[in-house]
Amino acid sequence: MAQEIKTTFKYDFIEIDWHGGSIFNVYPIDELGVRDQEIDCFTVYNVKSIKEAEKHCDNYAKNN
């Protein structure tokens, strides 16, 4: 059984989860640092590394 990758990128008011595939899930963070329900997701195909995923998340956080 393949091991699932899960990486969470944290920003001021959102967290973005990446599970090693093409889909990224976005969650708001309240003033107390508590994560709420998913508010958005985005897809980027052919992400080959955590570093590359981080660049896409940085870009999302900057532009949204």
What does the alpha-carbon distance between residue 64 and residue 9 come to, in Å, rounded to a whole number? 15
**What mean pLDDT is predicted for residues 11-38?**
95
| CB-based burial label for 44 (10 Å; 0-12, 13-18, 19+) | middle
- Residue holding tokens 């955590």? 50
| Structural tokens at position 16 | 């973005």
**Predicted confidence band at 29 (pLDDT cuts at 50, 70, 90)?**
very high
Q: What is the torsional sign of CA 9, 16, 61, 42?
A: positive
Residue 5: per-residue pLDDT: 77
**What mean pLDDT is predicted for residues 18-44?**
96
pTM flag (> 0.85): yes
Residue 2: per-residue pLDDT: 52
Residue (of 6, 62, 10, 17) closest to 42 by Cα position: 17
